[in-house]
Every structure is written in C-alpha cells, then in structure tokens.
Structure 1
C-alpha cells in the first residue's frame, strides 16, 4: 500500500468509535443550550420539554442518516 493511500476500513472504524463517544456529549450540550432557559431546579417548562424532545429526536435522525451514509461509503470502498 502506498503511503499516500488511506486504509478506508480502518479509518472508518476509528471515525465511528470516536464519533460515537462525542455524539452523546455534544447532543446533550447543544439541546440544553438551545432549549433550557428557565433554570428552575425542580422541573422544565412545557415548552422546554417539547424543545428537548424534538432536539434529541432530530439529532438521532441526523446521526442515524450519517451513520448509514458512512456504512454505505465504507461498503463501496472496501479493498
């Protein structure tokens, strides 16, 4: 293998491992920053609750789509 070439399956595995670790943290941080405004200790406002639910669902849908695209790319570029 030429040193300028990439080992696609290995890079894909490393990316998936790293991506999986970072996704949860960044998703929670993003959703909390965008949705929580009252900072009441005991409960969320109904609007905050809806916002968080929508944020997590949309994030899951996006990351599921990205994961499917990555798997497709890796299948197409197997050695």
Structure 2
C-alpha cells in the first residue's frame, strides 16, 4: 500500500483560500453583534465606530498571530 504524499504548503494555501472568506464573515458578524446597539441605519454612534474598529483590529492581530504560529508549525514538520 502506497502512502499518500501531501504538499504542506499547498494544503496550507487551500485551507487559507477555503476558510479566509468564512473567517471574514464570522469576524464581521461577531463585531457587529458585539458593537452595534443603536437602531440608526444611516450612521454609527462614536462608541459603536470605536468598538468596531477595535474589534476588527484585534481580530486581525489574532488571525495574523495564529497564521504565524501555523506557518512555524508547518516549517518544523518539513
């Protein structure tokens, strides 16, 4: 029985493409649910705007850190 060969970088790229949109969608949903409290459709309150900005920045920092950790792990496996 032959063992299947996988290209770790290729698998990483496929996962990134597949889940990148899902991560963006869930980040927007999470930040929107957490930060939006007014019912105004035309504008955001200053507190809502600040909350959204902080939420997106923290999410970006988290995913950037997680991406670096995964890349490090994959390099160690090669």
TM-score, length-normalised on structure 1? 0.82
Q: Do the aligned partners of 1:8 and 1:77 also contact (CA within 8 Å) in 2?
A: no
**CA offsets, 1:3-52, max 9 Å, x none?**
6xx83614323322222121111111110000001020211111101100
Corresponding residue number in structure 2 for 1:7: 6
- Name structure 2 gaps, 5 residues minimum: none
Secondary structure at the counterpart of residue 65 of structure 1: helix
Q: Greater RCO between the two (CA within 8 Å, min separation 6)?
A: 1
Q: Do the aligned partners of 1:35 and 1:52 also contact (CA within 8 Å) in 2?
A: yes
Q: 5 Å matches for 1:1-79?
A: 2=3, 7=6, 9=8, 10-78=10-78
Number of positions where the alignment pairs a residue of Structure 1 with one of Structure 2: 76
Distance 1:63 1:53 in 2: 15
Two-structure CA RMSD over aligned residues (Å):
1.8
